[in-house]
Amino acid sequence: MRVVAKIGTASITDDSGQISGPAIAKLADEVAALRADGHEVIVVSSGAVATGIAALGMPARPTDMRTLQAVSAVGQARLVERYRIEFERHGITCAQLLVDPFDFVERSQYLHLRSTIERLLELGVVPIVNENDAIANDELRYGDNDRIAALLANSAGADVLVLLTDMDGVYTADPRTTPDAELIPLVRSDDPLLAITAGSGGSGRGSGGMASKLTAARMASWSGVRSVIGRAAREGILAGAVSDDLVGTTFEPHARALSARRLWIAFAAEVHGKVVVDDGARRALVQGRKSLLPAGVMRTEGGFGVGDVVDIVTSDGRTFARGRASVHAHQLVAAIGRRTADLPDDVNDEVVHRDDLVVFDDV
């Protein structure tokens, strides 16, 4: 099997923000055990910012992006060094791989990323992946690695995604405030928890936590990948997840898989506005799998640009699709309701191309 294991900051650092050697050693031990059984493992690791803050002796987390990016650069070097030390105990070489959202959206970048991962695995290397916080544009970053891990599971053709956290899994309520909350051991593919809805998209700068892990689990499921949310400190958590032993909360995969591009649009991209359409346009999108044309648009909301993700909404306010805009909002306003032959020369004849469209009613 090919496994993507994502571990969060809280699981690999102590209360002071220092790297927890024992926590990373445990992860390395479990990865080594999986490899000994013939499995391939990709690790997605957070913790660079917290590690950098501790290394620089800062009293609190910086609030400005410039300092956060510098801190991340300091912490990333220390974090990967700790992984190198722990994996070398098992005779395993690891590699640092820093990614950003466009690596999963732009086809050339996507293919390069997939090729690099394949070659690293062929060489017997364990890739250690993190978002490239040090140089990421604040407008084009996720801010948590859960969605990165889910997109990576898709692009790498993983069989299982394991999201390691400081909780045993997903509960019926917050167990920290509700003593009788119960662990949910299994979420089936038709469960509402896995539905793609208008609320599934991210803000583009998520903060981690259980909400982002649920989003990642949805993404994995719609990639055809089984996922598990479980406690990082649990002994044998990775082996149990691979064996499908219900060691946390397991999310079944859907039979139908979305591409990485559509996963990004549906779940991970920041939504910049809305395009309200008439019933004819809705039918063309849902039933005909057509592109959205200006003739079916009633009005727009928000100042989106070309390439921005927008919600596509019915006249009564229900979001039923999401896609990447092919026109600027101000250009579309001038073209609303017009037939293609009547459009100004500077306006694209498609508002959203069908290849950049996810229809919630149809998946």
State percent of the chain over pLDDT 90: 64
Residue carrying structure tokens 């690891």: 94
Is the model's pLDDT at 194 over the cut of 80?
A: no
Q: Are residues 214 and 292 in the same domain?
A: no
Is 90 exceeded by the pLDDT of residue 351? Answer: yes
Question: Does residue 4 or residue 110 have the better pLDDT?
Answer: 4
Q: Is 130 annotated as a binding residue?
A: no
Structural domains in the chain (count): 2
Does one domain contain both 176 and 284? no
3-state secondary structure of 347: coil
* 129: containing domain: 2-264
- Claim to verify: residue 47 and residue 138 sit in the same structural domain: yes
Domain closes at, from 264, 283, 317? 264
Is 284 found in the same domain as 167?
Answer: no
Q: Is 362 annotated as a binding residue?
A: no
Backbone angles phi, psi at 249, to 5 degrees: -115, 120
As a whole number, mean pLDDT of residues 241-266 equals 88
208 is in an annotated binding site: yes
Q: Is 108 within any annotated ligand binding site? A: no
Q: What is the mean pLDDT of residues 262-268?
A: 82
Per-residue model confidence as pLDDT tens digits over 292-322? 999 899 999 998 999 999 999 999 999 999 9
Instruction: Say if residue 21 is in the same domain as residue 75.
Output: yes
How much is the average pLDDT of 81-91?
A: 98
Query: Across all residues in the chain, what is the average pLDDT?
Result: 88
Whether pLDDT at 122 is above 60: yes
The CATH code of the domain that includes 320 is 2.30.130.10
Q: Tell me, what CATH number does 48's domain have?
A: 3.40.1160.10
Annotated binding-site residue? 207: yes
**Contact between 303 and 271 (Cβ < 8 Å):** no
154 is in an annotated binding site: no
pLDDT digits (tens, 9 = 90+) for 94-116: 999 999 877 887 788 989 999 99
> Using one digit for the tens of pLDDT, what is the confidence trace for 7-52?
999 999 888 888 999 999 999 999 999 999 999 999 999 999 999 9
Question: With 80 as the cut, is the pLDDT of residue 240 above it?
Answer: yes
Do 127 and 202 belong together in one domain? yes
209 is in an annotated binding site: yes
The answer to whether the annotation marks 6 as part of a ligand binding site is yes
Asked whether 327 and 297 are in contact (CB, 8 A), the reply is no
Specify whether 255 is located in the same domain as 292: no
Please indicate, yes or no, whether residues 201 and 182 belong to a single structural domain of this protein.
yes
If you average pLDDT over residues 255-277, what whole number do you get?
Answer: 85
235 and 347 inside one domain: no
- Domain C-terminal end among 264, 284, 299: 264
Question: Which of 259, 94, 229 shows the shortest CA–CA distance to 167?
Answer: 229
- Kindly report the pTM of this predicted structure: 0.82
Q: Does the annotation place 278 within a ligand binding site?
A: no
Across the beta sheet with 160-165, the strand order is 94-99, 126-131, 40-45, 2-7, 160-165, 226-231, 249-251, 186-187
* CA-closest candidate to residue 358, choices 187, 207, 218, 150: 218
Would you list the DSSP string of 269-321?
SPEEEEEEE-HHHHHHHHTT-PPB-GGGEEEEES---TT-EEEEE-TTS-EEE
Other residues' Cβ atoms within 10 Å of the Cβ of residue 188: 11
Residues 305 and 175 in one domain: no
Q: Is residue 345 predicted with pLDDT exceeding 70?
A: no
Q: Encode pLDDT of 130-155 as tens digits.
A: 998 877 765 445 667 999 999 999 99
Residue 212 assigned ligand-binding role: yes
**Residue 145 burial class via C-beta count within 10 angstroms: exposed 0-12, middle 13-18, buried 19 and up:** buried
Q: Exposed/middle/buried for 235, CB within 10 Å: 0-12, 13-18, 19+?
A: exposed
Same domain, 80 and 221: yes
The pLDDT of residue 363 is 41
**Least confident window among 127-136, 173-182, 198-207, 237-246:** 198-207
Residue where one domain finishes, among candidates 209, 237, 264 = 264
Question: In the prediction, which pLDDT does 137 show?
Answer: 64
For range 269-273, the mean pLDDT: 87
> Is 133 one of the annotated binding-site residues?
yes
pLDDT of residue 257: 80
Do 178 and 37 share a structural domain? yes
User: Which tokens sit at 53?
Assistant: 């803050």
Strand partners, 95: 127
Report the pLDDT value the prediction gives residue 138, as an integer from 0 to 100: 57
